[in-house]
């Protein structure tokens, strides 16, 4: 089967974590014997105004471990004009598509990751070439009220024309069904994949000589709620001093979060590790005892399943994705933005770490989120779509 993936964002360089789960899914499908291509636009923000003159505007092609990847570099000229952004995506993606099919032939199916704005380009391609497409929605913009009426009109057309509509969690599927207010095209759940590197690592037992360590890995932005985590940690460590918090990631809130840790008097017990590579994420999680997700909004939470794959118990907020992931055997869920509840959960896991079986946590995670488990589900979706598409073509003849 020949599958072309068109994501709305994608890793720009080796080690880039932005969209890394799209890339890992593409490679997992390639490992299953599918022919996989990726078309991606790397459109720079106008906030990076210097790159208008100094940035790249070229097209590159690379064989990314068997995945043919076509990239168009340029500027996102119309960030506040959805119709023009949709036009820009259509223009560049269509050119890349024609270049791609000249080299690799016509795909059987297109898989879109996030509707704005890759979905619009896929819809235009599908209309012109009669290729079915499926879409997986990931964006927290729907939950955060950031989808304007103009964007809603565009996404509604994309969703309606898709042969399958997938989301990464049940709460998000419910949210999208309510957002579009229709039962004519339901949303189905298709979780993200845990990369095999996380299952290939031996689970480590706790080193009693080290402080009890919580770890959070995220972009340091407001929606990740890391300030709530630091406040909760300050309350927990006041009761149990033998604790440490490691925070991995970078972002606009980094300086403010460091200042908060000093203000609360816990700076000596918190380590800001900066941006981590995928291999560093594995190593840092293995060296920690519990993973904590404090987000205000998530559609899934890839880092949560990565922690579970390493046998780590998880504390997470009920922010839209973890509710689908974290079982009672895996850890504790708390309400969003609740400092007291998060602190209490941290103390509970500290005092009851032995209640969590790392091997069982990993086995259960593998059954739900391994490459094999998810690619089998994806292949069933593709086969269902192609079967339906073929029947429609025959009826029209």
The mean per-residue pLDDT over the stretch 125-142 comes to: 96
User: Cα–Cα distance between 307 and 26 in angstroms, integer?
Assistant: 21
Query: What pLDDT, on the 0 to 100 scale, is given for residue 181?
Result: 86
Q: Tell me the pLDDT tens digit for each residue of 218-252.
A: 999 999 999 999 999 999 999 999 999 999 999 99
Query: What pLDDT, on the 0 to 100 scale, is given for residue 14?
Result: 77
Domain extent for 51:
2-193+371-396
Using an 8 Å Cβ cutoff, are 312 and 333 in contact? no
- Are 38 and 122 in the same domain? yes
User: Cα–Cα distance between 381 and 397 in angstroms, integer?
Assistant: 25
Greatest CA separation for the chain: 74
User: Cα–Cα distance between 317 and 339 in angstroms, integer?
Assistant: 11
Using an 8 Å Cβ cutoff, are 19 and 138 in contact? no
At 97, which helix (H) or strand (E)?
Answer: helix 82-104
* Radius of gyration for the alpha carbons in the chain, expressed in angstroms and rounded: 22
The rounded mean pLDDT for the chain is: 94
Query: What pLDDT, on the 0 to 100 scale, is given for residue 136?
Result: 97
> DSSP characters for 28-96?
HHHHTT-EEEEEEEEEEPTTSTTHHHHS---EEEEEETTEEEEEEEEE---TT-HHHHHHHHHHHHHHH
Q: Tell me the pLDDT tens digit for each residue of 167-188.
A: 999 999 999 999 998 777 899 9
- Are 32 and 21 in the same domain? yes
Is 74 exposed, middle or buried, given 0-12, 13-18 or 19+ CB atoms closer than 10 A?
Answer: middle
Query: What pLDDT, on the 0 to 100 scale, is given for residue 390?
Result: 55
Q: How far is CA 64 from CA 67, 220, 230, 350, in A?
A: 5, 29, 39, 42
- Are 41 and 67 in the same domain? yes
pLDDT confidence tier of residue 127, bands split at 50, 70 and 90: very high
- Are 154 and 65 in the same domain? yes
The CATH number that applies at residue 311 is 3.40.50.2000
b/e for 228-242, b at 16 or more Cβ within 10 A?
bbbbbbbbbbeeeee
Tally of domains in the chain: 2
Using an 8 Å Cβ cutoff, are 117 and 137 in contact? no
- Are 290 and 186 in the same domain? no
- Are 57 and 185 in the same domain? yes
User: Cα–Cα distance between 91 and 85 in angstroms, integer?
Assistant: 10
- Are 105 and 163 in the same domain? yes
- Are 152 and 278 in the same domain? no
User: Above 70 in pLDDT, residue 134?
Assistant: yes
Q: Tell me the pLDDT tens digit for each residue of 93-103.
A: 999 999 999 99
- Are 49 and 126 in the same domain? yes
Q: 24 Cβ partners below 8 Å, 6+ apart?
A: 193, 195
Specify which residues 41 forms β-bridges with: 72
- Which tokens hold the place of 311? 């046998």
- Are 356 and 250 in the same domain? yes
- Are 170 and 63 in the same domain? yes
Query: What pLDDT, on the 0 to 100 scale, is given for residue 389?
Result: 61
- Are 93 and 153 in the same domain? yes
The mean per-residue pLDDT over the stretch 311-325 comes to: 96
User: Above 70 in pLDDT, residue 87?
Assistant: yes
The mean per-residue pLDDT over the stretch 53-74 comes to: 95
Using an 8 Å Cβ cutoff, are 137 and 176 in contact? yes
> DSSP characters for 126-188?
HHHHT--EEEEE--TTTTTT---HHHHHHHHHHHHH-SEEEESSHHHHHHHHHHHT-SSS--E
């Amino acid at each position: 089967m020949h599958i072309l993936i068109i994501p709305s964002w994608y890793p720009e360089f080796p080690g880039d974590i932005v969209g890394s789960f799209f890339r890992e899914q593409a490679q997992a499908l390639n490992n299953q014997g599918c022919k996989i291509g990726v078309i991606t636009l790397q459109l720079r923000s106008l906030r990076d105004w210097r790159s208008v003159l100094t940035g790249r505007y070229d097209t590159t092609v690379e064989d990314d471990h068997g995945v043919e990847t076509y990239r168009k570099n340029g500027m996102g000229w119309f960030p506040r004009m959805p119709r023009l952004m949709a036009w820009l995506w259509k223009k560049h993606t269509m050119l890349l598509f024609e270049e791609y099919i000249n080299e690799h032939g016509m795909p059987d199916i297109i898989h879109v990751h996030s509707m704005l704005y890759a979905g619009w380009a896929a819809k235009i391609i599908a209309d012109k070439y009669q290729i079915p497409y499926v879409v997986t929605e990931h964006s927290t913009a729907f939950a955060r009220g950031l989808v304007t009426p103009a964007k809603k009109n565009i996404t509604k057309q994309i969703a309606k024309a898709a042969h399958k509509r997938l989301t990464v969690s049940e709460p998000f599927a419910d949210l999208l069904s309510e957002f579009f207010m229709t039962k004519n095209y339901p949303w189905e759940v298709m979780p993200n994949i845990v990369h095999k590197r996380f299952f290939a690592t031996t689970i480590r037992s706790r080193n009693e000589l080290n402080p009890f360590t919580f770890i959070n890995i995220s972009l340091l932005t407001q929606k990740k709620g890391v300030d709530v985590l630091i406040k909760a940690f300050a309350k927990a460590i006041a009761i149990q001093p033998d604790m440490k918090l490691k925070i991995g990631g970078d972002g606009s809130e980094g300086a403010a979060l460091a200042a908060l840790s000093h203000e609360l008097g816990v700076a000596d017990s918190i380590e800001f590790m900066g941006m981590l590579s995928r291999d560093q994420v594995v190593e840092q999680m293995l060296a920690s005892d519990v993973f904590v997700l404090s987000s205000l909004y998530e559609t899934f939470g890839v880092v949560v399943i990565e922690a579970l794959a390493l046998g780590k118990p998880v504390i997470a907020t009920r922010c839209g994705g973890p509710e689908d992931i974290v079982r009672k055997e895996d850890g504790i869920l708390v309400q969003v933005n609740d400092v007291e509840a998060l602190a209490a959960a941290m103390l509970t896991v500290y005092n009851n770490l032995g209640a969590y079986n790392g091997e069982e946590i990993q086995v259960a995670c593998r059954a739900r989120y391994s490459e094999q488990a998810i690619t089998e589900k994806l292949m069933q979706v593709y086969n269902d779509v192609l079967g339906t598409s073929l029947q429609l073509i025959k009826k029209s003849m």
